Structure 1
């Protein structure tokens, strides 16, 4: 295996003397290593590296934006737009993200959509998670309804708890998983809210996990109640695992989930609709299996890791050709 060097740039803030020192260190490394392409992901990397890479003489700079910008303050939004002027191409991971960028004043000609991809092969072993239930204290054979996401207010997990509370008496053997970590204060609020909703003993917060394929092999329905989303990796992984998905109709979710074909879509902040959709799947095994199979096929056809890598490589090659052509013509 080829050994690729890893260089870390530690920051506690994006501005100030420490940040400038790290940026100068990055610029020196880029020159010394003759780096020809820099690809940044997310607000912090975009602000840290794009202008510095250009000043360091990097030929091609690509910036990825993978969200709907809801977490950005107006000031951060202006900073990101300014930084993106130094880039050769902005990569959005969904058409919804591209449309958001255009609405925010970005040049449509400089935006390319390369949808996120997952390693579908990792999610094909349906017997891999047999020890998961015991590890998490879950009874064997009970249906599991899971949210796989960061524990973050933008994920709308309180609406998931409300929805599950409406059906808990109807499906007494169902248990609920929240897989991920994040905002500790928010998680404590959710735990208290679950208790008030009567879900004690039915909800498990697993924390961060590295065995998501194994967990998904045991999940009956995967739910994403987000209030905003770019293109959710959790949705794509659930589809790759053949698990039927219920998701909110926000951002790029509808580009992955075709309502009634590869999953079910509901309005955000609508716990009642979310609960009805999950109930429908719990009651109808044929529908679950049909949506799960169609979701797996869609993930393989449109959201594979191989396809994402291939399109990214092609973009790099095209931009390098353009850069060299411009250099020959003195532009």
Structure 2
């Protein structure tokens, strides 16, 4: 679709995206996808990030100006430099991701006079939120938190859900999935439960490990596949210890961090996310786009993306028995898995597409730019 069909030319903006993370997480991946979509829609993008940032490497061949910065707030030399960059590039609006970037964005607003929009992926008590021109919350739960605890006025905060590249995940290759199964030594009859994400207390992998004996008693061919980094050494040790204590052995597979999750998903029978806290997890949207049923908790914004009884099953956080009881019927019933998987694809395509959500983000940017120009 041509840019002219997406928005009037007079709304094309010079946008500065600021992200403070070095590695990759949901917030940074969201920034990457949004940046590319905004470029596709005709905007001019500048990215401010750490010199070793993962996102800078991903955008190396994209038409995006990358400015390296450690986002130091003191001494003020770095702030003055970024203000000068913004002025030289006639930046219309700054958009920030993650805590350090959020603080820096507010300083750019105060001392550079540049409108600032912050995306709230998480829920933390921080005073900077109330000083942005607008705040984008990725879930209604996140919006309520910032209204209540960070005192962001109702007119300054809006919910715009995360999105994913639907076509990429929907086109996941069955052949790649078969290769992954073969690499595990998993027979065709094996039922694979996947958990994708950082292995940490917030994601709650230990509850799924604790649920495995009950799952195996009903579905002996079940296996648990944990996909994600293991930087949280103490938590990882506790999960491994629980697995050993329960005698799960090879029934629990650890892959570590993988860049080929898109190829792993077709190997799985379902994806589970036993989190105790979430904003709006991309991993569930990706699983649904790949046609997989999901079992997750009611934590945070999860109920806003998973339709209980339609695209998956929701259970209370930290409820091991409920987790097992939700997973067992799906492992036993391929037709139920297909029905949930097909409904999940439709839901992601209709509600969490780049086109729909980026248009809403554009409208937020345009509103603050118009207000600044009218002032």
Look up the match of 2:64: 4
Q: CA deviation at 1:113?
A: 1.0
The answer on 1:178 being equivalent to 2:236 is: no
Q: Please give the TM-score of this superposition, normalised by the length of structure 2.
A: 0.78
Alignment of 1:281-292 (within 5 A): 281-292=330-341
Alpha-carbon distance in structure 1 between the residues aligned to 2:292 and 2:284: 9
The Cα offsets for residues 16-39 of structure 1, whole Å up to 9 and x where unpaired, read as 54xx44334323322332222110
1:2–1:190 Cα change, 3 Å: closer
The answer on 1:55 being equivalent to 2:103 is: no
Structure 1 consecutive aligned stretches of length 4 or more whose deviation exceeds 4 Å: 14-17
Native 8 Å contact 1:31 1:57 kept in 2: no
The answer on 1:194 being equivalent to 2:243 is: yes
Look up the match of 1:166: 214
1:184–1:22 Cα change, 3 Å: farther
User: Which segment drifts farther, 131-140 or 176-185?
Assistant: 131-140
Alignment of 1:108-187 (within 5 A): 108-125=154-171, 126-127=173-174, 128-181=176-229, 182-187=231-236
Q: CA deviation at 1:267?
A: 0.3
Native 8 Å contact 1:149 1:179 kept in 2: yes
Alignment of 1:264-303 (within 5 A): 264-303=313-352
The Cα offsets for residues 256-310 of structure 1, whole Å up to 9 and x where unpaired, read as 1111111100000101000000001111222111111111100100011222222
Alpha-carbon distance in structure 1 between the residues aligned to 2:226 and 2:346: 26
Alpha-carbon distance in structure 2 between the residues aligned to 1:222 and 1:173: 16
Alpha-carbon distance in structure 1 between the residues aligned to 2:130 and 2:146: 13
Alignment of 1:67-86 (within 5 A): 67=122, 69=123, 72=124, 77=125, 80-81=126-127, 83-86=128-131
Alpha-carbon distance in structure 2 between the residues aligned to 1:271 and 1:231: 22
Tell me which of the two structures has the higher relative contact order, counting C-alpha pairs closer than 8 angstroms and 6 or more residues apart: 1
Task: Give the number of aligned pairs.
Answer: 311
Q: CA deviation at 1:136?
A: 4.1
Alpha-carbon distance in structure 2 between the residues aligned to 1:147 and 1:25: 43
Alpha-carbon distance in structure 2 between the residues aligned to 1:31 and 1:137: 57
Look up the match of 2:120: 65
The Cα offsets for residues 160-201 of structure 1, whole Å up to 9 and x where unpaired, read as 111123222332222111111141332122112111111111
1:240–1:188 Cα change, 3 Å: same
Could you list the runs of 5+ residues in structure 2 that have no partner in the other structure?
Answer: 1-60
Look up the match of 1:213: 262
Look up the match of 2:303: 254
SS at match of 2:271: strand
Query: Over aligned residue pairs, what C-alpha RMSD do you find?
Result: 1.9
Native 8 Å contact 2:225 2:255 kept in 1: yes
Native 8 Å contact 2:161 2:352 kept in 1: yes
The Cα offsets for residues 66-85 of structure 1, whole Å up to 9 and x where unpaired, read as 12x2xx4xxxx2xx32x223
SS at match of 2:292: coil
